[in-house]
């Protein structure tokens, strides 16, 4: 059999139905003793190892939680800012502020988290980013 290039193989796969391709993958796995899931497991391992790094994790972190630690003396101003940041109703925002420490925003980018922290601290709250 003539050796096929990567492009030729891809063209052949494009012409196959999903069932034919699935059968091909099963036969490929059996023939070479591999599984298609192996690259996923290998890719997950460095992420788990990197989590133990501590300082490296903080530098590479791209999602942050804005946690309200305390409302401070100006609770009404903090409630107003929480409403503006989250679009919660008055009752829900008041309950969130009174339940501090509580996450106001979860899984937001660094810029959004910093802006929210600055806004809440300006209203008199104590805020941390996690």
Mean pLDDT throughout 13-35? 82
pLDDT: is 31 or 1 the higher one? 31
| Closest C-alpha among 94, 44, 23 to residue 104 | 94
User: First-to-last CA distance in the chain?
Assistant: 58
- Is the pLDDT reported for residue 103 higher than 80? yes
Cα–Cα dist 63/9, whole Å? 39
- Is the pLDDT reported for residue 18 higher than 50? yes
- Residue pair 55/108 in contact (Cβ under 8 Å)? The answer is no
Per-residue model confidence (pLDDT) at position 114: 87
pLDDT: is 49 or 26 the higher one? 26
pLDDT exceeding 70 applies to what percent of the chain? 79
Backbone angles phi, psi at 110, to 5 degrees: -60, -45
At 55-101, the pLDDT tens digits run 445 556 778 888 888 888 888 888 888 888 887 888 888 888 888 78
- Is the pLDDT reported for residue 118 higher than 70? yes
- Residue pair 74/100 in contact (Cβ under 8 Å)? The answer is no
Give the full edge-to-edge strand order of the sheet including 126-129.
102-108, 64-70, 126-129
| Closest C-alpha among 50, 70, 69 to residue 60 | 50
**Is-above-0.85 flag for pTM?**
no
Query: Taking all residues of the chain, what is their mean pLDDT, rounded to a whole number?
Result: 77
Per-residue model confidence (pLDDT) at position 40: 42
pLDDT: is 43 or 12 the higher one? 12
């Amino acid at each position: 059999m003539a050796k096929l290039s990567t492009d030729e193989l891809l063209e052949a796969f494009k012409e196959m139905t999903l069932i034919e391709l699935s059968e091909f993958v099963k036969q490929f796995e059996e023939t070479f003793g591999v599984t298609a899931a192996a690259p996923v497991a290998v890719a997950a391992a460095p992420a788990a190892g990197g989590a133990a790094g501590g300082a490296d994790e903080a530098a590479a972190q791209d999602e942050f939680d804005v946690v309200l630690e305390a409302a401070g003396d100006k609770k009404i101003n903090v409630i107003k800012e929480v409403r503006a940041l989250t679009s919660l109703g008055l009752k829900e925002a008041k309950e969130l502020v009174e339940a501090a420490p509580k996450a106001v925003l979860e899984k937001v980018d660094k810029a959004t988290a910093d802006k929210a922290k600055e806004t809440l601290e300006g209203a008199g709250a104590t805020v941390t980013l996690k």
